[in-house]
């Protein structure tokens, strides 16, 4: 996998106590990487980080704030990573209405801190900067956004990530032009689902909460359309992009979309119904009235990843929802080793990967 490039590599991973970061920490460790995680404490209870004891699976776990410049600098400089995967963020649209300043500080200034320190660290060759599909100016159009389309964002989360994209591009042009400078790419993924996510106001964790409480599932925006994908899909894109940068391929120091195929772009209500079908429990009935604006139509064009990286999605939305629901069913059955179960889902994904594992790079 990934040309075995992660074997023995030192990887600094921000956001390792979060949903995607926990999965990435496990995957990287299984690829032989020495991972140093840097994040705030898990902000949900339960959390995948605590339940699977991810701290014990990686080289070093630091609880720290990316806004604490001095501590961050000390940790990065001491660890001297080969590559940084930056996932730490305030990632929730609805929380960004309540906490706009925290959202901007964390997402924009926090990212600039990680970027600036890493770019000056002598051994750091590569940086994967995780943003989102919401970074584009949403025109509610019926086709996917391409990487070269304008950044924007109606709500403060989306616009903060649009800002991260603009800031990162400016940082690259200003400070990363020398031949030996760190290579930095930004990665934009869609609505990510998978086991181990207990965040508030996210569809699948919300569905699971309602089902476990024996209540009917209330959804806010039943006809909103989103690109749904299993967590391992964008992570495989980040890892592939990381491989290219570690191999010194400067043409990949750019923005990339990692979304699902068009047939996996589904309405919120249809996803909730699928969750009930696979859980064999639950019912979607009531639609909560909601005043906050959220995009109705959001899709990503993934031609660039396909043509230049050879990356394509592996699972359909149905398969992604099934894998996700299976994870929660097993978790709540209380008699399954969830670390083992999670690793089996990673192995299964690796075996099924549809993109070319030995991708020929142009
Ligand atoms: N989950 C999705 O559907 C999705 C979709 C597209 C992009 N993303 C992006 O992927 C990344 C990870 O998202 P997630 O779903 O795992 O979120 P999450 O909330 O589960 O995890 C966020 C992580 O960031 C850390 N963090 C937050 N503020 C911090 C700070 N000030 N200092 C240090 N660490 C801090 C948290 O401790 C946690 O480890 C984010 O950048 C997010 O914007 C997520």
The per-residue pLDDT for 60 is 98
The per-residue pLDDT for 286 is 66
| Closest residue CA from atom 19 of ligand 1 | 18
**Residue 180 belongs to domain with CATH number:** 3.40.50.720
Give the position, in ligand 1's atom list, of the atom nearest the Cα of 66: 32
The alpha carbon of 73 and the centre of ligand 1 are apart by a number of angstroms equal to 20
Give yes or no for residue 35 having a pLDDT over 70. Answer: yes
Q: Could you tell me the CA-to-CA distances from 271 to 237, 280, 301, 302 in Å, in that order?
A: 23, 14, 21, 22
The alpha carbon of 266 and the centre of ligand 1 are apart by a number of angstroms equal to 23
Euclidean distance between CA atoms 167 and 111, whole angstroms: 9
Phi, psi angle pair for 264, to nearest 5° = -100, 10
Smallest Cα–Cα separation from 269: which of 223, 302, 323, 315? 223
Q: Does 362 reside within a domain?
A: no
The per-residue pLDDT for 334 is 87
- The CA R_g of the chain, rounded to the nearest whole Å, is 19
- SS3 for 319-360 is HHHHHHHHHHHHHHHCCCCHHHHHHHHHHHHHHHCCCCCCCC
Residue 341 sits in which domain range?
2-352
The per-residue pLDDT for 323 is 98
Mean pLDDT of 323-328: 98
Smallest Cα–Cα separation from 97: which of 55, 150, 160? 160
Q: Does 275 reside within a domain?
A: yes
Q: Does 268 reside within a domain?
A: yes
Plot region of 107 (φ>0 → left; ψ -120 to 50 → alpha; else → beta): alpha
The alpha carbon of 139 and the centre of ligand 1 are apart by a number of angstroms equal to 25
The per-residue pLDDT for 95 is 95
Domain count, the chain: 1
Mean pLDDT of 70-77: 98
Q: Does 190 reside within a domain?
A: yes
Q: What is the pLDDT of residues 121-130, one digit of tens each?
A: 999 999 999 9
Q: Does 361 reside within a domain?
A: no
Q: Does 360 reside within a domain?
A: no
The per-residue pLDDT for 289 is 65
Residue 69's H or E segment, with its range, is helix 69-79
Mean pLDDT of 291-299: 74
Omega of the bond leading into 156 within 30 degrees of 0 (cis):
no
Q: Could you tell me the CA-to-CA distances from 261 to 24, 67, 266, 276, 342 in Å, in that order?
A: 22, 36, 11, 23, 24
The per-residue pLDDT for 266 is 87
The per-residue pLDDT for 293 is 77
Q: Which residues line ligand 1 (CB under 6 A)?
A: 14-15, 17-21, 39-40, 43, 65-67, 87-91, 106, 110, 130, 132, 189, 191-192, 199
The alpha carbon of 326 and the centre of ligand 1 are apart by a number of angstroms equal to 23
Give the position, in ligand 1's atom list, of the atom nearest the Cα of 64: 33
Euclidean distance between CA atoms 190 and 266, whole angstroms: 12
Q: Does 357 reside within a domain?
A: no
Q: Does 278 reside within a domain?
A: yes
Q: What is the pLDDT of residues 143-188, one digit of tens each?
A: 899 999 999 999 999 999 999 999 999 999 999 999 999 999 999 9
| Helical ranges in 80-155 per DSSP H | 93-98, 100-104, 111-120
**Dihedral, 54, 56, 60, 61 alpha carbons, nearest 10:** 40
């Amino acid at each position: 996998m990934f040309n075995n490039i992660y074997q023995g590599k030192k990887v600094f991973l921000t956001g390792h106590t979060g949903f995607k970061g926990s999965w990435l920490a496990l995957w990287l460790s299984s690829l032989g990487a020495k991972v140093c995680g840097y994040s705030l404490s898990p902000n949900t209870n339960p959390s995948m980080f605590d339940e699977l004891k991810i701290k014990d699976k990686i080289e070093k776990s630091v609880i720290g704030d990316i806004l604490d410049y001095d501590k961050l600098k000390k940790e990065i400089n001491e660890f001297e990573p080969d590559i940084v995967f930056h996932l730490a963020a305030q990632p929730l649209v609805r929380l960004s209405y309540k906490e706009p300043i925290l959202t901007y500080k964390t997402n924009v200034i926090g990212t600039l801190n990680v970027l600036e320190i890493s770019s000056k660290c002598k051994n750091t060759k590569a940086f994967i900067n995780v943003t989102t599909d919401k970074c584009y100016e949403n025109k509610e159009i019926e086709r996917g956004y391409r990487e070269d389309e304008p950044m924007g964002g109606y709500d403060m989360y989306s616009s903060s990530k649009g800002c991260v994209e603009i800031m990162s591009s400016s940082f690259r042009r200003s400070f990363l032009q020398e031949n030996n400078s760190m290579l930095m790419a930004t990665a934009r993924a869609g609505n990510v689902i998978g086991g181990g996510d207990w965040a508030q106001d996210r569809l699948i964790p919300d569905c699971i909460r309602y089902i476990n409480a024996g209540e009917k599932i209330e959804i806010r925006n039943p006809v909103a359309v989103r690109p749904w994908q299993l967590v391992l899909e964008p992570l495989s894109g980040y890892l592939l992009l990381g491989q290219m940068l570690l191999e010194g391929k400067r043409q990949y120091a750019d923005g990339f979309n990692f979304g699902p195929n068009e047939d996996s772009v589904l309405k919120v209500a249809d996803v909730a119904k699928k969750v009930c079908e696979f859980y064999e429990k639950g019912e979607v009935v009531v639609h909560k009235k909601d005043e906050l604006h959220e995009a109705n139509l959001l899709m990503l064009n993934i031609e660039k990843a396909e043509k230049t990286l050879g990356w394509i999605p592996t699972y359909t939305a149905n398969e992604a929802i099934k894998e996700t629901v299976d994870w929660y069913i097993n978790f709540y059955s209380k008699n399954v080793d969830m670390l083992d179960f999670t690793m089996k889902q990673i192995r299964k994904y690796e075996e099924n990967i549809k993109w070319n594992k030995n991708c020929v790079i142009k």
